Structure 1
Amino acid sequence: MGETTRITVTLPTEQVAELKKLTDNVSGYVAEAVARQIRHQLLGADLRSYEDEHGSFSEEELAEARARVAGATESSGGASAA
């Protein structure tokens, strides 16, 4: 993962209980969730920038993108694309 920094995060008690049921590595789980959210936001910004410059995506382009995402998700073992 590289260099790390310790921080304190406050979460609702119910979320912490569910999180501990899912993993023994809470820091790793949270780090992956944060990384996924950052990728999502950066991709959204890139897509908006592209559309601002080139216009809206066509239905054909959107269908091709969805098919590629579905294919990538299937080949990675069904991980969530979100």
Structure 2
Amino acid sequence: MYLAKIYVTYKPSILDPQGEVIKSALHRMDYAGVQTVTQGKYFEVKLQATDVDSATAETQSFTESLLINQNTETYRFDLSLVADEVDV
């Protein structure tokens, strides 16, 4: 079993309004050194796959099909092998 940790953010060319609001609030709180804030989405998905290559392909497929808007968002993900959960 694999665990996919998927991080979704706006593409660099897209304005991130929530990130701008957070940055503005931080500046008002005297955190003047904050240059940029990027807000995004985070998903954890456990999936059965025979190997890391098939887990990678499946994660890319469902992320691009469902989890992101390909016009405005980009993503990255990490995969890790996890033990199967056993009910006791």
Q: TM-score range with shorter-chain normalisation? A: 0.3 to 0.5
Q: Which has the higher helix share?
A: 1
- Give the TM-score normalised by the residue count of structure 2: 0.31
Higher RCO, 1 vs 2 (CA within 8 Å, ≥6 residues apart):
2
Q: Which has the higher strand share?
A: 2
